[in-house]
Amino acid sequence: MSDTQPTRASQNSNTAEYAVVACLFAGLAGALAYGMYISQPDMPPAPARVGAVPAAAATAARADANANAQVTSQAVKVAADGGAFTPPGARDIPDTPMGEWIRRGEAIFLRTPANAVGFSGNTLNCVNCHLDAGRLKGAAPMWGAYPLYPAYRKKTNHVDTFAERVRGCFMYSMNGKAPDDGHDILVALEAYAYWMAQKAPTGEKLPGAGFTKVGKAAQEPSFERGAKVYEAKCALCHGAQGQGQEAGGVTVFPPLWGKQSYNWGAGTHEVDKAASFIKGNMPYGNPTLDDQEAWDVATYINSMERPQDPRFTGNVADTRKQFHDTPFSLYGTEVNGRLLKGL
């Protein structure tokens, strides 16, 4: 064998190196493509309105719209087919006054901090959790959520409207301030969700709505195993310290813990909900984790500190007792000798 002829070992080594480089470029390409997708122009100017809409008037308008809505033949077909529902695409937004509000809602959805100034408290966008601009099955799509409201929610202990549900997202997931009912931001987001769900049956949970529930873990979820899964499958996009990534000033891979992430009041801080989202959607574009890996990495992520629960009573133990009395919340517990109490 000549000195210049590669050995089988060196060939295998080169192949492995090429594979690693290819994965890195694929991840970066995905980040850039996703960033280009959500990097929309500035939000369209607010459509003309005659003064502010009082909360009662906004609620009445929504009630009238729901009362007058007719179940179309497509909605009947959706119910009969067990959920073969396809939401409209971005190019289907009508060139009408209603369409102006839908586009405004889409802009807020895709670039929340830039287009909901004063209400968004971190770098997350709605689309970071509700993937594909709120269209993707198994990633809490808007077409699956809107038809299910009003609904009683244990978290609030009363019947929430869709607008109230969105207000909660601003408080917890965005770690910000909830817009008042009837505010332009809520009207626009509700218009966007309504448009996406307008041919879906009302009051029926369609297949693909919410998250796809993860299977039961074969073993007790482990922080240590989760750390290994995170390093191998998550850190490339979300960062070794969970800091996320930006492209063009827009968060494309969200921070998973720390000051710029969701706070301790967000639903995703509960390990079972995070595991379901991860199992169905991660790694982004190629969800390949098994149930145990999803539980383990969700435990690892939600064992990290994040902003305080806005409902904080002034006492961690009391806050846990009132709002986190579930084995799936690690708030107020010790992990690796550290009390998780909020930043």
* Strand blocks (E) in 135-280: 151-153, 158-160, 245-247, 250-253
As for how many domains the chain has, the answer is 2
Strands 151-153, 158-160: pairing is antiparallel
Alpha-carbon separation of residue 79 from 74, 135, 209 (angstroms): 9, 18, 13
Q: Are residues 124 and 232 in the same domain?
A: no
- Residue 42 is assigned to a structural domain of this protein: no
- Residue 324 is assigned to a structural domain of this protein: yes
220 Cβ contact partners less than 8 Å away, ≥ 6 residues apart? none
- Residue 5 is assigned to a structural domain of this protein: no
Q: Residue 252 is encoded by which pair of tokens? A: 């494309």
Picking from 197, 232, 262, the residue at the C-terminal end of a domain is 197
- For residue 13, the SS3 value is helix
Q: Are residues 182 and 267 in the same domain?
A: no
CATH value at residue 147: 1.10.760.10
pLDDT tens-place values along the chain, 343 residues long: 434 334 433 444 443 333 333 333 344 334 434 443 444 446 666 665 533 434 443 343 344 333 333 333 333 344 334 456 899 999 999 999 999 999 999 999 999 999 999 999 999 999 999 999 999 999 999 999 999 999 999 999 999 999 999 999 999 999 999 999 999 999 999 999 999 999 899 999 999 999 999 999 999 999 999 999 999 999 999 999 999 999 988 899 999 999 999 999 999 999 999 999 999 999 999 999 999 999 999 999 999 999 999 999 999 999 999 999 999 999 999 999 999 999 9
- Residue 147 is assigned to a structural domain of this protein: yes
Q: Are residues 249 and 334 in the same domain?
A: yes
Q: Are residues 191 and 59 in the same domain?
A: yes
153: domain range? 55-197
Q: Are residues 172 and 305 in the same domain?
A: no
- Residue 35 is assigned to a structural domain of this protein: no
- Residue 27 is assigned to a structural domain of this protein: no
Asked if residue 252 lies in contact with residue 330, where contact means CB atoms within 8 angstroms, the answer is no
Q: Residue 135 is encoded by which pair of tokens? A: 């269209």
Q: Are residues 241 and 310 in the same domain?
A: yes
- Residue 29 is assigned to a structural domain of this protein: no
- For residue 247, the SS3 value is strand
- For residue 151, the SS3 value is strand
pTM: 0.79
